[in-house]
Amino acid sequence: MYATPGAAARQFRHLHRGAGTRSPRSGVGLRPVVSTLTAVLIAVAASLAAASPAWAHGQGETEEGYLLVQQALGHLAHDTGQGG
């Protein structure tokens, strides 16, 4: 049949090259998913790090801000109109 004993083995390897090396699952591999998640996390962290809190510039502005918020909340709480 074959001229040499190794010829059968070479023929078998040639015919079955790559058989069984592929994953039975099809679709996207894990590497693109991890890369995308990493990029999203870096973007979110950069946007949060770049945002700075608003600080009052002058004397008494913080208290004035609190007073305005309290007035607005009081107005909303005591609003008896149809929309409130």
Tens digits of residue pLDDT in 13-63: 767 666 555 555 555 678 889 999 999 999 999 988 877 766 667 777 888
Scanning the chain, the segments in alpha helix (DSSP H) are: 5-15, 30-50, 61-77
* Cα–Cα distance measured from residue 70 to residue 15, given in angstroms and rounded to the nearest whole number: 81
- What are the structure tokens assigned to 6, written together? 């190794």
- What's the pTM? 0.32
Which residue type sits at 43?
Answer: A
- Identify which has the larger pLDDT, 1 or 45: 45
* Cα–Cα distance measured from residue 22 to residue 19, given in angstroms and rounded to the nearest whole number: 7
CA 40 to chain centroid, in Å, comes to 4
